[in-house]
Amino acid sequence: MAALPSDPRLVIFDLDGVVYRGTQPIAGAVDLIEAVHAAGALVRYATNNSMHTREEYVERLRRMGIRAAADEIVTSTSATVDHLRSHCPDVRTVLTLGAPGMLAEFRAAGYEATSAAEAGPQDWNGADLPQPFDAVVAGLDPRVDYRRLGIAASAIRAGARFFATNADVQYPTPDGVVPGAGAIIAALAATSGVEPLVIGKPQPAMFAGILEQTACAASASIIIGDNPDADLVAANRAGIASVLVLTGVTDAEAAAALDGERRATAVANDPAQAAALLGLALS
Ligand SMILES: [Mg+2]
């Protein structure tokens, strides 16, 4: 396991459970972020959520007193855009199965993007689509229906490369658990017989992309997360040291029982303790 770098160049924050819970900032998180900036390190915020644009996260953070730039935000959708740009330059036409924010990100990035809702005839009945797509990108579509699933699976069967923004099977909401992107992707994989390349955590592609974009070495970077199954597994797979903060989905008892890919380099009760681990002075 990597040691915590003493003078990190890059600190990647998970959002929910690390910076905020719902609409409430976590006590001390704003100070920790300020201290990272003051130390001259780059900050990135990495979320598996595919449904909102980076600008929407800038606004959400601004309301909590955190000044962030759009290029500091990495969603599983923006990471998928970055992956396609860097590794799949032949992809131009994209069929998206996701929320409107996903479609907006792909169009803003210059892709010829069509949502599954608007692709194909409205009375689609299983026939081949009139036009092929270079890629299908699937995430969480809260309006998913039988037709959209069929259209996306048909495009994959016709030869489109299949990417998933993330594979979280469950999506927790304040009122309970609803199907996550992984549940939708499982349906597409079962129907098409093709497994997707998954970009979001726990796969390492999102963090690997951030290292590429920032030109920071893994050995000079730190990930701060609350979810061992997502943040810590992805950190370990990307070879980046991690701090598990106990302000989200993991308590001290669960943290003590973690092993293998789910272990953090260090554990902090809260942002203030994380700052101390990073050798940062809080103002
Ligand atoms: Mg989290």
Distance 211 CA to ligand 1 centre (A): 20
Beta-carbon count within 10 A of 122 CB: 7
Return the structure tokens found at 217. Answer: 């070495």
**CA 14 / ligand 1 centre spacing (Å):** 5
pLDDT (0 to 100) of residue 56: 96
pTM: 0.95
The full set of domain ranges for the chain reads 95-198
Could you tell me the pLDDT band of residue 22, with boundaries at 50, 70 and 90?
A: confident
* 163 CA → ligand 1 middle, Å: 22
| Residue 270 CB neighbours (<10 A) | 15
Quote the pLDDT of residue 65.
Answer: 94
**Which residues are found with C-beta within 5 Å of the ion, ligand 1?**
14, 16-17, 226-227, 248
pLDDT digits (tens, 9 = 90+) for 192-224: 999 999 999 999 999 999 999 999 999 999 999
Over the stretch 94-141, which tens digit does the pLDDT of each residue have?
999 999 999 999 999 999 999 999 999 999 999 999 999 999 999 999
CB 36 within 8 A of CB 45: no
Distance 64 CA to ligand 1 centre (A): 17
Q: Is residue 82 left, alpha or beta, with left meaning phi > 0 and alpha meaning psi from -120 to 50?
A: alpha
Which CATH code fits 95-198? 3.40.50.1000
Residue 2 is predicted with a pLDDT of 61
- DSSP labels, 15-28: SBTTTEETTEEPTT
Distance 268 CA to ligand 1 centre (A): 14
**Beta strands, E only, the chain:** 10-14, 20-21, 24-25, 42-47, 73-75, 93-97, 112-115, 135-138, 161-164, 170-173, 176-179, 197-198, 221-225, 241-245, 266-268
Q: What's the CA-to-centroid distance between 104 and ligand 1, angstroms?
A: 24
Q: What confidence category does residue 1 fall into, taking pLDDT thresholds of 50, 70 and 90? A: low
Contact criterion met (CB below 8 Å) for 200 and 225: no
